[in-house]
Amino acid sequence: MAKHVGFIGLGNMGTPMASRLLEAGYQLTVFDVRKECIDALVAKGARSAASAAAVASAVETVLLSLPDPAIVRKVALGADGVIAGTKVKTMLDLSTTGATAAREIAAALAAKGITSVDSPVSGGVSGAVKGTLAVMVACAKPLYAELEPMLKHIGNVFFIGERPGMGQTMKLANNLLSATATAATAEAIVFGVKSGLDPAVMCDVINAGSGRNTATQDKFPRQILTRKFNQGFATGLMFKDVRLCLEEAEALGVPMTVSASVRSVWARANDELGAGSDITAFVQLLERATGVEVKGK
C-alpha cells in the first residue's frame, strides 16, 4: 500500500500511533479539531489538513482514532467528513464504536465506493507509545494482507474476521473484562486494606496466584499505590465501552448478569468521579465509602 496515509484524531491514543507511523517512514496528512494537536504532528513532519474531507481528498487510506460512535459517524459520514473525500478508498477506524455503528458506517461508505475497516485497539496510552497495542482487524483477507505491514508499526495485529463489526465485538469483550477486573480488584484490595493488609503485598500474592489480572499487574502497582491516577484512559470512555457491550449483547439475546453489575458501578464512577477522571481513580469510590486509602509505603 501507499506510504502516504491520513490520520484523523490526535488525542491520547491517536498522537502516539500517528507518531509511530511517521517514525516508520510513512508520510501523514493529519486533522484534529484542536490546532495544537495538528501542530505537534506537523513539527514531526506531518502535513496538516483543514478537515476530514481534506484528508480524504489527499490520500487513499485514512485512519481514525476518535472517542465515541457519534463523533466517528460525524467524521466518517458528515458533510465535511471522510465520505466527501475525492481520493479515499479505505477508512480504518481504530476507535471503539460497537458492531452496530461499524456496520452502519461500513454500509454508508460502501455506497460511495469506500471500504470501511473496523480495527479497534487495546493496550492504553503506554501501548500506543511503545507500539505494543492489540490491533483487532475485520475486513476481507486480501485487504488485511495489504494493511498488516502498516498496522504492525502500532502493535500486534490480529485478523478477527471478514464481516464489518467483528473487530468491534472483540474489542468490547476485551474492555468488558478490563472494566470488570479493575472494579473487582478495587473491591478486593480495599477489603484487604480495611482488614489491615498491605496493598503492595496483596498485589504480589495475587500476581503469584490465580487472581492475577491487568489491574493487579499494572494499574494498582503503577497508578493506584503511587497515587498517580494517570493511566491515560477516561472513566467516561470505559463506561461507554461497557454500556456498548451490554447493548450489543442484549440485542443478541446473550444474558450478561455479572456485566450488568459492572455497568452499574462504572455508571456510578462516571457520575461521582466525572467522565474525565482516570479509570484508576475508580478505587476512590470505595476509599470514600470505607475511610481507607490504598497506597504504597
| 171 annotated active-site | yes
- Res 2: pLDDT: 66
Lookup result for grid cell 470488570: 180
The tens digit of pLDDT for each residue in 5-48 reads 999 999 999 999 999 999 999 999 999 999 999 999 999 999 99
Encoded amino acid at 225, one letter: L
Question: Domains in the chain, please, with CATH?
Answer: 4-163 (3.40.50.720), 169-290 (1.10.1040.10)
Among 44, 87, 130, 171, which one carries the catalytic annotation?
Answer: 171
| Contact residues for 64 (Cβ-Cβ < 8 A; gap 6+) | 8, 9, 72, 75, 76, 82, 91, 92, 93, 94, 95
The tens digit of pLDDT for each residue in 193-212 reads 999 999 999 999 999 999 99
Q: Is 41 helix (H, G, I), strand (E, B) or coil?
A: helix
**% helix, strand, coil for the chain, step of 5:** 55, 15, 30
Q: Read off φ and ψ for residue 115, nearest 5 degrees.
A: -90, 125
Q: Are 295 and 251 in contact (CB under 8 A)?
A: no
Neighbours of 243 (CB within 10 A): 16
pTM score, whole prediction: 0.92
DSSP state string for 256-282: -HHHHHHHHHHHHHHHHH-TTSBGGGG
| Contact residues for 108 (Cβ-Cβ < 8 A; gap 6+) | 76, 77, 83
For the cut 70, the answer to whether the pLDDT of residue 227 exceeds it is yes
